[in-house]
Structure 1
């Protein structure tokens, strides 16, 4: 079973170094949000992407994570920022607690490599997206480096694109936020 990021390391997810490496607003730009979308952040952790998304939409931002501790941190951060339209949901990526066709945008950042049933997880994202909805999948480049999960747990860019297509997505384009991560923007 792949290693899952642990709540006691949450500070790493909010560090300035991570913000420099993965500027949330630049990443979110790829989703082409217009200010009214309902959004789901799968594996939201303490809200590194969920809170910036909430600043860019009047719709509901569903922050899904396995960890009660991470969601509690996210809730505190959202309250401090006055973001009342963020809803924290405890659930695994392959069983999203949302109705079918309930969101316009979805983000899954550095989570898919941790999910035992990747096809089910991608199917869930497709299920909750409205027709024409956009999905940004971010992952670690599959090569040795000093940070990130073990190389044998990482997914190649080609493997992610193939999995997205197999789940019924149309791949739009690739996103390269830095030299250690990649993203794939897809549409339902």
Structure 2
């Protein structure tokens, strides 16, 4: 069973050090969110990416997380920031949205924790509209002083194969720093 990030460490996810390493707005530029887009952040935690997403669109922003504590923190932060986010307690394998209901999807540093990764990617494809975009962020698969154990990480090639196997077309890779990578993919027909 993979290591799952624990709610008591939530402050690490919104710390200044993380913002320096992984500037949310710069990373989200790769997703190309337009003002009318509906968006989902899967594994949203306390809203590190969900809040900036909500500032980019007038569409609905859905935040999904397994942890009620994380969702409570996210809701409080959204209220303080004056943005609207719909919080859903659910797993990545069972997203509580209708088919083809969002234009953009984000899953940041979650897929390596998901027991059924193929089902999770299939769910993202299900909720995305045709030509919708998916940004998958993960840890580089090599030893380092931060992040999950290296044996639980997924290589960029493994993730790319998983996405293409589930009907996504890879648009490009991003490298926001020297420890993370991202894949920007589009939902095929």
1:53 matched residue in structure 2: 53
1:185 aligns with 2:176: no
Spell out the pairing of 1:81-160 with structure 2 (5 A cutoff). 81-84=81-84, 86-160=85-159
Q: CA RMSD in A?
A: 0.4
TM-score, normalising length from structure 2?
0.98
- 1:33 aligned counterpart, secondary structure: coil
TM-score, normalising length from structure 1?
0.99
Distance in 1 (CA, whole Å) between partners of 2:64 and 2:109 is 13
Distance in 2 (CA, whole Å) between partners of 1:61 and 1:6 is 23
The runs of at least 4 consecutive aligned structure 1 residues that moved more than 6 Å come to: none
2:38 matched residue in structure 1: 38
Unaligned runs of 5+ in 2: none
| Alignment coverage as a number of residue pairs | 187
1:35, CA displacement in angstroms? Answer: 1.1
- 1:30 aligned counterpart, secondary structure: helix
1:98, CA displacement in angstroms? Answer: 0.2
Distance in 1 (CA, whole Å) between partners of 2:173 and 2:30 is 10
- 1:80 aligned counterpart, secondary structure: helix
1:36, CA displacement in angstroms? Answer: 1.1
1:21 aligns with 2:21: yes
- 2:31 aligned counterpart, secondary structure: coil
Q: 1:59-114, CA deviations, whole angstroms, 9 ceiling, x for partnerless residues?
A: 01000000000000000000011112x10000000000000000000000000000
Unaligned runs of 5+ in 1: none
